[in-house]
Amino acid sequence: MTTILFSAPEARWADYAEVLPAALKEAGVKARLTREAAPEEVDYIVFAPNDALRDFRPYTRARAVLSLWAGVETIVGNETLTQPLTRMVDDGLERGMTEYVAGHVLRHHLGMDRHIANPGREWRQVAPPLASDRPVTVLGLGALGETCAIALADLGFPVTGWSRSRHDILGLRCLSGPEGLREALSGAEIVVTLLPLTAETENLMNAERLALPARGAALINPGRGALIDDDALLAALDDGQIGHATLDVFRTEPLPDDHPYWAHPRVTVTPHVASETRPETAAKVIAENVRRSEAGEPLLHLVDRRRGY
């Protein structure tokens, strides 16, 4: 019998205790899902970072470590983890992120804040431009970035997407590599960062790059906090170069009480809620990967350790 160890923070077990065995059964996998097992008996590890498992060396039989999270920056560099590592690409996660990004893009595009907080009861008839006149740039064209970029293009925004390798996606202007970044950011009125955190992407949005979008542009970051140089962003906000930042992720989470982002009038803090792995759909992804592995088929969503994502 195949043994699958569920190694995640305690609270997650309730989410998966029923849906994961059901998904495994549906995929035709005969397996035992457990929270405790002798390491040498474990065939797969369903994993989310937790204090109990940091050393993967005793899991000599494990054929894969299957991450419940999309971002793997905290485990990709773990030298004891030599088994194949997959990350989460989940339909529920994509739909949630699309809703978050579309909602915040439309908030800035339509200038909703002007009407939501209007203590002086001013009758200001400022009509927003059409979406077709509002250039949006999405940094990262992976599972999440591409889905969001397409949804924004469907709403009528002229969308530029940027990635490491060249992409060709109908309805988007796709740029890539370091040379494409300057072009992607130049003149953008809304910038969405949906990149993984790697050695290459850390502090990507520094002072030089924050100066490229149109003056007063909005920045929306549901990617990872360290993609942004915080001091540079605060300076760009104070100067008016960046008109508003909607930030969902931070270098330290929860965001410390005394962090300047909390009090800044042009920053919206959301507490890492842009999207989350949805157990119903994620369980199917995990089950499919176990089925593939058992059938000798290649795993889906394998992490490339050298790239870091």
Q: Does 140 bind ligand NDP (CB under 6 A)?
A: yes
Select the residue interacting with ligand NDP from 198, 246, 289, 293 (CB under 6 A): 198
108, 109, 224, 301: which one is catalytic? 224
Select the residue interacting with ligand NDP from 209, 224, 244, 284 (CB under 6 A): 224
In one letter, which amino acid is 144? L
Q: Is 104 a catalytic residue?
A: no
272, 291, 292, 305: which one is catalytic? 272
Q: Does 90 bind ligand NDP (CB under 6 A)?
A: no
Q: From residue 141, give the alpha-carbon distance in Å to each of 124, 162, 214.
A: 38, 6, 22
Q: Does 145 bind ligand NDP (CB under 6 A)?
A: yes
Select the residue interacting with ligand NDP from 31, 37, 53, 70 (CB under 6 A): 70
Q: Does 165 bind ligand NDP (CB under 6 A)?
A: yes
User: Taking the complex as a whole, how short is the minimal distance between the CB of residue 282 and ligand NDP, in angstroms?
Assistant: 11
Give catalytic residues, as residue numbers. Answer: 224, 272
**Applying CB under 6 A, which residues contact ligand NDP?**
70-71, 89, 93, 140-145, 163-165, 194-198, 200-201, 222-224, 248-249, 272, 274-276, 309
